[in-house]
Structure 1
């Protein structure tokens, strides 16, 4: 896979609060290791890295500022980065500082998006990036999510949600869905 020399790695919400058992069953136990591999490759290539943190406003959330779960997981906590974005919603494009403005000021048009949760903040950020005209690559194995219950007791397993995200992003023309190996071996 050929990427621009300035392709940015966007690492979304890799926070300790997602280790809280209250989230329920998750998929992809290798997600953090793959995120770490991507971060190391970006550091070695001196490519731009953007870390994103979700600062929840929901009372009692493990992701709320001031709670231990708000902190980044060790796999990314020490990563040298070019921009740190905090957000309160699903999309990193609605954070502070303005991600889109920063990317454009740097002449960046390609994004590799990874992190937590696959079907929430990763998918929403990737969709917005696609709508904004960026080339978006999502190494699905560098993401993970949790089982989720919807209306009327309808429940989907985390793996099914990840599959739906892959279909939504690739089938909808928002992003290329690949593996970490595809990105690193390209």
Structure 2
């Protein structure tokens, strides 16, 4: 039997102050994250907040913006701060997970293809079972060489490269069902 924990990655007010911020997918994201957190709390799965604090503008602790977004009303079991894209190195999280005998990580948060995906990859390499709940992640369109990837494109790309290699892709509902049956 695995011991699970939910990682709520970078769901912080800093993002409201980035030029790429847009509200298009935010309502659905808020609902999915809220349902996932409530479901994990109801199943006694630890909920861990991970906040990005790298000294860059709104991500600088001194900005006062490295705080959970206002819609988050849960009390996390623990909060960690990271300076790199993944939540496991340099933050103290890996040590805490080992002390708690956590073997399975559920990933949600902001930016799907960056900090969430990177955390999933590193976690898998460290031997964790990873559940990636794409609908409880948020990202924004990205353009490179004149080609723009939509949020749907980025979700598809992330799921494609993670599924079966680094993580199992779940919806909020299927994740909570899996937790109930384990």
Runs of 4+ in 1 over 4 A off after TM superposition: 24-27
- Post-superposition CA distance 1:118-173 (Å, at most 9, x none): 000000000000111110001110001011123x33332222111111111115x1
Match of 1:149 among 143, 154, 170: 143
Distance in 2 between the 1:46 and 1:83 partners? 14
Contact 1:85–1:95 under 8 Å retained in 2: no
How much has 1:94 moved relative to structure 2? 2.0
Output aligned runs, 1:63-142, within 5 Å: 63-76=59-72, 78-96=73-91, 98-142=92-136
From 12, 16, 29, the equivalent of 2:13 is 16
CA RMSD of aligned residues (A): 1.9
Q: Counterparts of 2:87 and 2:129 in 1: how far apart (Å)?
A: 16
In the alignment, the residues of structure 2 paired with residue 21 and residue 131 of structure 1 have an alpha-carbon distance, to the nearest angstrom, of 31
Do the aligned residues in 2 keep the contact of 1:15 with 1:63 (CA within 8 Å)? no
Structure 2 unaligned segments of length 5 or more: list them.
none
Query: What are the superposed Cα offsets for residues 36-64 of structure 1, whole Å, 9 maximum, x if unpaired?
Result: 11111222222211110001322xx3222
Given that residues 52 and 92 in structure 1 are in contact (C-alpha distance below 8 angstroms), is that contact kept between their aligned partners in structure 2?
yes
3-state secondary structure, aligned to 1:75: coil
Q: Scaled by the length of structure 1, what TM-score is found? A: 0.86
Kept in 1, the 8 Å contact 2:40–2:176? The answer is: no
Structure 1 residues 57, 21: CA separation in 2 closer, same or farther (over 3 Å shift)? closer
**Which sections of structure 1, spanning at least 5 residues, go unmatched?**
none
